[in-house]
Amino acid sequence: MTSKQRSKLKAIAANLSPVTQIGKGGITGNLLKTLSEALEARELIKVSILETAEADAETMAQNAADLLQAEVVAVIGRKAILYRYSSRDHFAHLEF
């Protein structure tokens, strides 16, 4: 992903509300299912990473992205922006 694409996705994500939170429970199967469904429906999501999480925000975001086969667009403070191309047919994919 180029820096220009990353910048465009960050601008789109600016108005999004976090889908869920990652806390002291870490990245569970249930959380991954929720994130995967949200990515499939929207392609771009924002996630809050609580201070009680077992690692820093960057690490938690990268771990979640790796498990979801997604990309970390940005981590700003304790919020992570994730992107994954939706495999759905007849879907208005994000243009960036």
- In this structure, what CATH number is given to the domain that contains residue 47? 3.30.110.60
41 is a domain residue? yes
Q: What global pTM score does this model have?
A: 0.91
The count of domains in the chain is 1
91 is a domain residue? no
* pLDDT tens digits, 43-79: 999 999 999 998 999 999 999 999 999 999 999 999 9
40 is a domain residue? yes
**pLDDT tops 70 at residue 20:** yes
31 is a domain residue? yes
3-state secondary structure of 59: helix
Question: Of 54, 43, 52, whose CA–CA distance to 9 is shortest?
Answer: 43
Provide the pLDDT for residue 96. 66
Provide the pLDDT for residue 34. 95
64 is a domain residue? yes
Domain that holds residue 37: 3-83
| Residue 30: alpha-carbon gap to chain centroid | 15
The answer to whether the CB of 61 falls within 8 A of the CB of 82 is yes
